[in-house]
Amino acid sequence: MRKWISGVGLLFIVLLMAGVCYSAGQMRKIGGDDGPALTMVAASVHRVFASLATGDSIEAWMGVSGSVRPSRHGVLRVGDSLTVVPPNVGAEGQRSTWIVTKVVPGALLVLQRRGESLGVVVSSRHYQVEARGDSTAVISTVAAPMIEARMGRSQGRATGGAMMTFASKMMLTALRAQSKAELLRLKSHVEGQP
């Protein structure tokens, strides 16, 4: 009886690990590699940047996981905030706020999300816009200093280090996948596609 229970337990662990590995592979396909995401938009740099860095149009592309409320209308300026409200009414505690930390008109928009309790940068996004032929390239770079630091600390540990590193990589991949989805929504919004 013990051998049978041990066998079933081992089979469960093997199936669980296979599922985790498959999920990681799927996230990798969605999120892409570790580099920046690039999307080409068939419009002028001015038009793309206006859609990217205007509080009134930001929900059209950034509202992938809920609604986005800018602190004011018009072109974003350093210090403005974007509050992302989750789609679930009962998830009020899961709001996140992005702060505009740098704006170079027609070229660059940098957003940072800070942890509510610690005040440290949880993640940041850099949106660079540049002309390429008759289109505009939008390059999005995602950084997550807290996650990347956690990965560095956990790699040296024997116990649980591999799982922490794996979980951190999955979180970073999810952030990159969300950023890529937002760029595709920006492209659709600017080009007038449904």
Quick one: pLDDT at residue 128? Answer: 95
Query: Both tokens of residue 100?
Result: 């505009």
Contact (Cβ atoms closer than 8 angstroms) between residue 140 and residue 36: yes
3-state secondary structure the chain: CHHHHHHHHHHHHHHHHHHHHHHHHHHHHHHCCCCCEEEEECCCHHHHHHHHCECCCHHHHHHHHCEEEECCCCECCCCCEEEEECCCCCCHHHCEEEEEEEEECCCEEEEEEECCCCCCEEEEEEEEEEEECCEEEEEEEEECHHHHHHHHHHHCCCCCHHHHHHHHHHHHHHHHHHHHHHHHHHHHHHHCCC
Residue 31: what pLDDT? Answer: 43
Q: Does the pLDDT value for residue 163 go beyond 60?
A: yes
Domain that holds residue 97: 35-191
Which residues make Cβ contacts (< 8 Å) with residue 178, sequence separation at least 6?
64, 65
pTM, full prediction: 0.71
- Based on the fold, state whether residues 4 and 96 are members of the same structural domain: no
What are the backbone dihedrals phi and psi of residue 118, each rounded to the nearest 5 degrees, phi first? -90, -25
User: Which tens digit of pLDDT belongs to each residue from 103-131?
Assistant: 999 999 999 987 666 667 788 899 999 99
90 & 185 share domain: yes
Task: Give me the half-sphere count of Cα atoms (radius 13 Å) on the Cβ side of residue 164.
Answer: 16
CATH of the domain at 152: 3.30.530.20
* Number of domains observed in the structure of the chain: 2
* 74/157 same-domain check: yes
Residues 96 and 124 reside in one and the same domain = yes
Pull the structure tokens for residue 33. 């590699």
Cβ distance 39 to 187 under 8 Å? yes
Residues 182, 126: one domain? yes
24 and 53 inside one domain = no
90: confidence class by pLDDT, cuts 50, 70, 90: low
Q: Are 177 and 27 in contact (CB under 8 A)?
A: yes
Instruction: Looking at the structure, tell me whether residues 13 and 44 fall in a common domain.
Output: no
CA 49 to chain CA mean position, Å: 19
10-45: pLDDT as tens digits = 667 767 666 666 655 554 444 445 678 899 999 999
Same domain, 39 and 20: no
Same domain, 110 and 164: yes
Residues 174 and 80 occupy one common structural domain: yes
The full length of the chain comes to 194
In terms of domains, do 40 and 75 share one?
yes
Same domain, 52 and 121: yes
